[in-house]
Structure 1
Amino acid sequence: MHSILPEIGIAVLAATAMGFIFQLCRQPVILGYLVAGALIGPQIGFKLVSDPANIEVISEIGLILLLFIIGLELNPAKLLSSGKKLIYAGVGQFVLCVLIGLGFFVLLGYPLGGGRIETLYLSLFCALSSTAIVVKLLYDKFELDTLPGRISLGILIFQDLWAILILALQPNFMDPKLHLVALALGKGVLLLAVGFLLSRFALRWIFAKIAKTPEMVVATSIAWCAFMAGLGSWIGMSMEMGALIAGAAIASFPYGVHVTAKVLPLRDFFLTLFFLSIGMKIPFPDAATLTMAVLIVLFVIASRFLTIYPILQLSGSGRRTSFITSLNLAQISEFSLVVAALGVQYGHIQQSLMSLIIYAMAITSVLSSYFIKGNHTIYLAFDRVLTRMGFPSKAARETAEEEQDHYPIVLLGYHRGARAIVEKIQEDAPDLLEKILVIDFNLEVLKELEDRHVKGVFGDISSMD
């Protein structure tokens, strides 16, 4: 124990320093943790931590808490109310990306079958996007409440549901016989049933009794997480899946936000150790590894536009929403590192494949910070190219054909303030509604304005056209 504490201290100091540097450079802090791990580890660093296993054991707590909080953020009611558009995108994106990935990585020389499943793992890695990066960058840009922002978050929630399925089936990837897959699914369903039944008939009563003591609410939630994680391990599933179900089972409780706020510091500390432990295992990259990482990055970006863009276009979301949503999700998820770590633990893949996905994730994370910050500028360039090729967007054509009427009141963008103004006018002076013109590039907003009998046209004030 005495030898572990100094190593944890060194690891935390290194993570703090590199995290600060990466934050100053406006890059994902997770990358700073990976770099810190590499610098203090025995592979390519200064060997300040000689045995990463010491930190790895403790860091697994962070992994469990991460999955628990992801579960807390799952809201089945929201998914059911999202409509067919989001359901098609959430299902189609993952399935199509995995199928395209299987073909792509086989062409690159990765085997599929014969006891080798690297292709399957790579396809799964590339199908998942980063909730942490997308939410942070969209929040900083005040775009979480835009249509592309909401669809991006919806697809990420669906990916969390796919993660449950991955965790349920992952132990049997090497031997995917029908009865083993059915057994794994049965165990997953059993774990779900136990979690939700206990939450409904026992936890609600317990939480009602301790609601006046916030500390007890948090302690009980963590105990619940530990119980489900242990139960998952006991029945042959992963502890991570048990933690995910534990969070999802109490996501609808009114205490969810409070629990999340209190557990976040614990999660962040242990999760920092998790990413540090991964960084310690990274070997020095060779030319072949970097080349393959770049190919994976190109595939991830292309796959988003091959899967998300056409589905949203066909469902009537419009060119801008389809493009920006695809661009927002063009990165590899930190959850892919969880799947990779478990894959190494199960003996399914080599450490070298995990290192490859770390390099690819690092590159996509850096690129995403620029993609999301400049998503509208990138879209305008894309739109101009298509327009010059003779493919103007439907909304732009409709706007060009509008009669040039005179409107004394013009609102540029239908944000919260503009919506409040329209609602106030509707209450106090409804006759003025016909004198209002709203310009916005959100097609969902235009439909809402039509229902309010307010004139809305498609437009973007960032475009001089």
Structure 2
Amino acid sequence: MHGEDHALFVSALALLSAAVISVPLARRLGFSPIVGYLLVGIAIGPVGLNVADPSVVSTVAELGVVMLLFLIGLELKPSRLLSMGRYIFGLGAAQLLLSGLAFALLAYFVFGFGVAAALVSGMALSVSGTAIALQLLNERNDLTSPYGQRTFSILLFQDIAVVPLLALVPLLAPGESTLAQDPMAALLRAGTAIVALAVIVVAGRYLLNPLFRVLARSGAREAMTAAALLVVLGAAGLMEAVGMSMALGAFLAGLLLSESTFRHELEANVDAFRGLLLAMFFMSVGMSLNVAVVVHNMGPLLIATLLVSLTKCAVVYSVFRNDNIPSPQSALAAVVLLPAGEFAFVLFPLGLSTGILKPDQADLLIAMAALTMIIGPLLFAAIARLLPRLAPAEPEPEADDFSDADGSVLVIGFGRFGQIVSQCLLAEGVSVTIIDNDVEMIQSAGRFGVHIYYGDGTRLDVLRAAGAESCKVICVCVDDKEDANRIVEVVKASMPGTELFVRSFDRIHSMELMRLGVDFEIRETLESALGFGGRTLQAMGVSAEAAGARVADVRARDRARLERQLEEGIFAPPEPQRPRKVEPEPLHIPEKPARPLNAEAQDILSHETEFSG
């Protein structure tokens, strides 16, 4: 084995060993795995055991952030992203500009930086670590919460802002810059970036789905995995080639594929690589920390880090509170966005190479950025534990919220199926409570005059908070059969007296639900297909009475066959359904307005009113 190959092998072995050791240890100590990765990065890097080469690791580790942004794009949809525009360009711009200005003033007046150095360092420190922030939000399942969505919007704006910030550095360099001498170069670069974005958009909308269909028919799973990686790395590489963020390119590719029928397949293929590469990224940050600089400048560095941390937390907290986010969630957002971003490790060396920053300034700024990456996850873990103890207990729901025990129904999932179920109940004057964790569905439910709870219906604490224990019937209308089964198991174990009516995905799922002992189950397409068949019979000349009798006979035969198959264990293959996007509206005028039952639902409905107004 050659020397370079041997060094690469040793680095890989050290990284894998560190990942295996650090995660269980960090979990046992109550810390985020990110802290473990950062600390073991220091331990195996140049200042520690020196068994891994930071330059080799950092090149590969950047792909972890790229794949993370691709997966986030897959989880979103263009329509939802458009609805977040107010957060992206409102909150995102406010956070970046206010933080950048505050840091620039600190650098200029407190630490004696020049104007250009203060501006560069201020903007670099105002950008937060996308990988760290999203990892922290995912650990608590907070990404879909109101504060989580705003946090993600700010991170997305920061990724977009990378392009003008990179262009700003040469303009601030001492003397005449090439960019300043040739304005056409700036226009050409902007035009190239626009063309690259257009290529990704066109490919995502018109080329990728046919490609994946061809690969799916071939049955070669390794080809699908290779295609998934090709899409991610191709989009990221194209953006980097035109001077934009690799992460932004991957996010756009994921966003354009979010409506694809192959979304789950892509997610499964990429996710396996994402976790390991993200771990490498965090360890590479730990390796890059210049411990000698930290030791020799311990006092000033700690003071500077404390000032930067307090300033950034204060700005973010103020921005979130101004948008009516409760204090506990605003505090969590402040520490989530506290760590400096991977962009800082690009901008500080660039500032050094252009003469804006001095070597000692660049070293201290890089060390400060790395320290915030360690402090942020630690503070997040501490605040997440402390807030529930300090927060006052939430008031109990008013007595009339769930007093109608004979008619109170909990509907979990307010998609196309749950909306029709709710229409029937509301028309009869039955009290209905909705649980959903989709912002668009919560906004739609606000028009129906129902009680609303934003949360994950598979969790027992959410069910109890929404009043499930006092409901006579729980209607499980979610479109994911695994989630439906999980809800059934939770309710059966904790609320055995409650009747369970469950939407079934297909025949196999119907049999699973029957085994679980639900009170009623029905396939989502059964009755609509029977009604369709009945009307078709009438179009063929069969009388309405005869057609109705025939449909009733088919329904009875189908049920008998289902029960026989359940006994014999004969399963039919599932047939995937693709929902159609419609704007839901109530069929009758609600007698009373919608009533949100938690702060998250209140926040979503209040902003829906703003958008519709």
Residues 1:173 and 2:176 are matched in the alignment: no
In the alignment, structure 1 segments of 5+ residues that lack a partner are 314-320, 384-395
Specify which structure has the bigger relative contact order, considering alpha-carbon pairs within 8 angstroms and separated by 6 or more residues: 1
Q: Which amino acid aligns with 1:206?
A: L
How big is the shift at 1:110? 5.9
Number of aligned residue pairs: give it.
423
How big is the shift at 1:73? 4.1
The aligned counterpart of 2:203 is: 198
How big is the shift at 1:260? 2.2
The aligned counterpart of 1:122 is: 125
Question: Is the CA contact 2:68–2:274 (under 8 Å) kept in the aligned structure 1?
Answer: yes
Q: Which amino acid aligns with 2:254?
A: G
The aligned counterpart of 2:311 is: 299
The aligned counterpart of 2:9 is: 5
More divergent stretch after superposition (419-428 vs 5-14): 419-428
The aligned counterpart of 2:288 is: 281
Q: Distance in 1 between matches of 2:427 and 2:251?
A: 49
More divergent stretch after superposition (275-284 vs 29-38): 275-284
The aligned counterpart of 1:262 is: 269
2:212 aligned to 189, 207, 226, which one? Answer: 207
Q: How does 1:101-250 map to 2 (within 5 A)?
A: 101-109=103-111, 111=113, 113-114=115-116, 117-125=120-128, 130-137=133-140, 139=141, 149-167=145-163, 169-170=165-166, 172-175=168-171, 179=183, 183-212=188-217, 213=219, 214-237=221-244, 239-250=246-257
| CA separation of 1:269 and 1:278: change in aligned 2, threshold 3 A | same
The aligned counterpart of 2:64 is: 62
Q: TM-score, normalised by structure 1?
A: 0.74
| CA separation of 1:406 and 1:183: change in aligned 2, threshold 3 A | closer
Question: Is the CA contact 1:101–1:122 (under 8 Å) kept in the aligned structure 2?
Answer: yes
How big is the shift at 1:425? 7.7
More divergent stretch after superposition (166-175 vs 156-165): 166-175
| CA separation of 1:291 and 1:78: change in aligned 2, threshold 3 A | same
| CA separation of 1:378 and 1:183: change in aligned 2, threshold 3 A | farther
Question: Is the CA contact 2:73–2:251 (under 8 Å) kept in the aligned structure 1?
Answer: yes
Question: Is the CA contact 2:37–2:286 (under 8 Å) kept in the aligned structure 1?
Answer: yes
| CA separation of 1:246 and 1:42: change in aligned 2, threshold 3 A | same
How big is the shift at 1:22? 0.8
| CA separation of 1:297 and 1:416: change in aligned 2, threshold 3 A | farther
SS at structure 1 position matched to 2:343: helix
The aligned counterpart of 1:26 is: 30
Q: Distance in 2 between matches of 1:209 and 1:379?
A: 54
Question: Is the CA contact 2:65–2:131 (under 8 Å) kept in the aligned structure 1?
Answer: no
Question: Is the CA contact 1:332–1:360 (under 8 Å) kept in the aligned structure 2?
Answer: no
The aligned counterpart of 1:76 is: 78
Q: Distance in 1 between matches of 2:63 and 2:87?
A: 37
Q: Distance in 1 between matches of 2:596 and 2:233?
A: 51
The two structures, once aligned, show a CA RMSD in angstroms of 4.3
How big is the shift at 1:333? 4.9
Indicate the structure (1 or 2) with the bigger Cα radius of gyration. 2
1:41 aligned to 45, 52, 58, which one? Answer: 45
| CA separation of 1:415 and 1:302: change in aligned 2, threshold 3 A | farther
Q: Distance in 2 between matches of 1:343 and 1:431?
A: 63
Q: Distance in 2 between matches of 1:199 and 1:267?
A: 21
Q: Which amino acid aligns with 2:369?
A: I
In the alignment, structure 2 segments of 5+ residues that lack a partner are 173-178, 451-589, 600-613
2:279 aligned to 246, 266, 272, which one? Answer: 272
Q: Deviations along 1:341-378, whole A, 9 cap, x unmatched?
A: 22245355624312211212221211112323454554
The aligned counterpart of 2:464 is: none
The aligned counterpart of 1:389 is: none
The aligned counterpart of 1:343 is: 347
Q: Distance in 1 between matches of 2:84 and 2:113?
A: 38
The aligned counterpart of 1:427 is: 424
Q: Distance in 2 between matches of 1:364 and 1:52?
A: 22
How big is the shift at 1:203? 2.1
Q: How does 1:379-418 map to 2 (within 5 A)?
A: 379-380=391-392, 408-409=403-404
Question: Is the CA contact 1:70–1:160 (under 8 Å) kept in the aligned structure 2?
Answer: no
Q: Distance in 1 between matches of 2:593 and 2:249?
A: 51
Q: TM-score, normalised by structure 2?
A: 0.58
Q: Distance in 1 between matches of 2:208 and 2:433?
A: 51
Q: Distance in 2 between matches of 1:6 and 1:281?
A: 18
Question: Is the CA contact 1:111–1:119 (under 8 Å) kept in the aligned structure 2?
Answer: no
Question: Is the CA contact 1:152–1:328 (under 8 Å) kept in the aligned structure 2?
Answer: no
Q: Deviations along 1:41-81, whole A, 9 cap, x unmatched?
A: 222x23333x3223233334334433433444453310223
| CA separation of 1:456 and 1:295: change in aligned 2, threshold 3 A | same
How big is the shift at 1:103? 3.7
Q: Deviations along 1:110-152, whole A, 9 cap, x unmatched?
A: 6363456212212234899812202321x2xxx666xxx1342
Q: Which amino acid aligns with 2:39?
A: V
The aligned counterpart of 2:520 is: none
Q: Distance in 2 between matches of 1:297 and 1:453?
A: 50
| CA separation of 1:82 and 1:62: change in aligned 2, threshold 3 A | closer
Question: Is the CA contact 1:59–1:273 (under 8 Å) kept in the aligned structure 2?
Answer: yes
The aligned counterpart of 1:393 is: none
Q: Distance in 1 between matches of 2:64 and 2:594?
A: 48
Q: Distance in 2 between matches of 1:55 and 1:127?
A: 19
Q: Distance in 1 between matches of 2:425 and 2:350?
A: 66
Q: Distance in 1 between matches of 2:129 and 2:58?
A: 25
Q: Distance in 2 between matches of 1:244 and 1:85?
A: 17
SS at structure 2 position matched to 1:409: coil
Q: Which amino acid aligns with 2:203?
A: L
Q: Distance in 2 between matches of 1:329 and 1:417?
A: 28
Q: Distance in 2 between matches of 1:193 and 1:72?
A: 19
Question: Is the CA contact 1:300–1:332 (under 8 Å) kept in the aligned structure 2?
Answer: no
Q: Deviations along 1:255-290, whole A, 9 cap, x unmatched?
A: 233212221221222222222222112233312212
Q: Distance in 1 between matches of 2:61 and 2:265?
A: 24
The aligned counterpart of 2:586 is: none
Question: Is the CA contact 1:250–1:256 (under 8 Å) kept in the aligned structure 2?
Answer: yes
Q: Deviations along 1:190-245, whole A, 9 cap, x unmatched?
A: 22111112222322322232234454333112112333333334334454444444
Identity of aligned residues (%): 20
Q: Which amino acid aligns with 2:403?
A: P
| CA separation of 1:3 and 1:196: change in aligned 2, threshold 3 A | same
Question: Is the CA contact 1:130–1:329 (under 8 Å) kept in the aligned structure 2?
Answer: no
